[in-house]
Amino acid sequence: MAAIELTGVTKRYDDVTAVDGLDLTVPEGEVFGFLGPNGAGKSTTINMILDFVRPTTGDVSVLGYDAQRDSVAVRQRTGVLPEGFDIYDRLTGRKHVEFAIRSKDATDHPDEILERVGIADAADRKAGGYSKGMRQRLALGMALVGQPDLLILDEPSSGLDPAGAKEMREIVRTEADRGATVFFSSHVLGQVEAVCDRVGIMREGTLVAEDSIEGLRDAAGGEERLELTVDSASSDDLDAVRALDGVESVSGDGGTVVVSCESSVKTKVLSTLEARGVTVKDFETTEASLEDLFLSYTEGQKQEVSA
Ligand SMILES: Nc1ncnc2c1ncn2[C@@H]1O[C@H](COP(=O)(O)OP(=O)(O)OP(=O)(O)O)[C@@H](O)[C@H]1O
């Protein structure tokens, strides 16, 4: 069963088509990064998954349920970090989490949740006084309540400092390891790269790419350059590397081997040399920039600077 399945989903607002014939399947247990520039249709898609917005046409199924008919069941098993999360200024962080626990009929301990998201120290402070990043951490904590089968995180890194963004990624991984599906949106590829199994890139309401990070790298042109320092490599050794699928060019002068190849064959290059008795003392790679690739998929649209 897919955790999320959208089939031919379109959402129109008067003359704006926010989402245009979208087909998207996210298997259970996957960490899926949903990317795209401002206005690409990410929030609209998330809102349709949660039945906050109804599609003009098409079907949305979530955790095996019809997103519209069974929206209560979907929300019960889903943890959501919404975009622009509203806090209750007068309530403490702990009260927020207690509220989430009650509304989900969950048994979590509020302090454990607050500890996980790094704001245990501020548990008894009114959330109105929290910084932007602390609010974001609180929202993430509330989403984690009840061990949801599906986590939907809309721009989870927004407002987080680098340490917070890293902690967020670790939490995403931990949740995935216990079997949850994680679907999160971002307009910064770098933030999802380290944690996603797969990404989808939206542009003007359609999915323009859907792949693993590795696959995206290959699509970036495969222009990865691998520079190896070896004890000695003969021309036969170089020929053996040249013969590998995905290797574009090989040059070398005995002590150095330079290979242009698809990123997926990097390890094959190393193991081929080592199997031939060549000792690899050191290596450096220059990777294709994913951010450049992301822009190549989405360019032509106005880009706002991300928060
Ligand atoms: N309620 C609405 N009424 C009219 N147009 C809307 C509405 N909601 C979204 N849109 C339009 O649909 C398009 C997609 O918006 P959406 O919020 O889904 O994009 P997004 O990818 O989430 O962008 P961002 O990264 O800025 O949050 C935009 O052109 C937006 O103006």
- CATH number at 61 reads 3.40.50.300
Total domains, the chain: 2
In angstroms, rounded to a whole number, what is the distance separating the alpha carbons of residues 47 and 8? 16
Q: Would strands 65-66 and 224-230 be described as parallel, antiparallel, or unpaired?
A: unpaired
- Contact 113/141 with Cβ under 8 angstroms? yes
212 and 156 in a common domain:
yes
Which residue, judged by its Cα, is nearest atom 30 of ligand 1? 39
Q: How far is the CA of 234 from the centre of ligand 1 (A)?
A: 58
Q: How far is the CA of 86 from the centre of ligand 1 (A)?
A: 19
In angstroms, rounded to a whole number, what is the distance separating the alpha carbons of residues 170 and 51? 28
The angle that helices 132-144 and 162-177 make with each other, rounded to 10 degrees, is: 0
Which residue, judged by its Cα, is nearest atom 27 of ligand 1? 38
Lay out the sheet containing 280-286: strands in order across.
247-252, 256-261, 224-230, 280-286
Residue 83 domain-assigned (yes or no): no
Residue 109 domain-assigned (yes or no): no
- For ligand 1, is residue 44 a contact (CB within 6 Å)? yes
Which residue range is the domain that position 250 belongs to? Answer: 223-287
* pTM score above 0.80: no
265 and 202 in a common domain:
no
229 and 164 in a common domain:
no
Q: How far is the CA of 183 from the centre of ligand 1 (A)?
A: 18
The answer to ipTM > 0.95 is yes
Q: Residue 16: beta bridge partners?
A: 13
- For ligand 1, is residue 16 a contact (CB within 6 Å)? yes
Which CATH number is 267's domain given?
Answer: 3.30.70.100
Residue 154 domain-assigned (yes or no): yes
pLDDT tens for the chain, residues 1 to 307? 899 999 999 999 999 999 999 999 999 999 999 998 889 999 999 999 999 999 999 999 999 999 999 999 999 999 999 887 788 999 999 999 999 999 999 999 999 999 999 999 999 999 999 998 899 999 999 999 999 999 999 988 888 888 888 888 889 999 999 999 999 998 777 777 778 999 999 999 999 889 988 887 777 665 678 889 999 999 999 999 999 998 888 888 878 998 888 878 888 999 999 999 999 998 888 765 667 677 767 764 433 433 3
**Alpha helix (H) residue ranges in the chain:** 42-49, 71-76, 93-104, 110-116, 132-144, 162-177, 189-193, 213-219, 235-242, 266-275, 290-298
Residue 138 domain-assigned (yes or no): no
- For ligand 1, is residue 243 a contact (CB within 6 Å)? no
Ligand 1 nearest-atom number relative to CA 19:
14
- For ligand 1, is residue 187 a contact (CB within 6 Å)? yes
- With a CB cutoff of 8 Å and minimum separation 6, the contacts of 200 are 24, 32, 33, 34, 35, 207, 209, 210
Residue 41 domain-assigned (yes or no): yes
- With a CB cutoff of 8 Å and minimum separation 6, the contacts of 18 are 11, 12, 41, 44, 205
283 and 153 in a common domain:
no
Q: How far is the CA of 207 from the centre of ligand 1 (A)?
A: 15
Residue from 26, 52, 293 nearest 185 by CA: 26
- For ligand 1, is residue 36 a contact (CB within 6 Å)? yes
Report the chain's terminal Cα–Cα distance, integer Å.
35
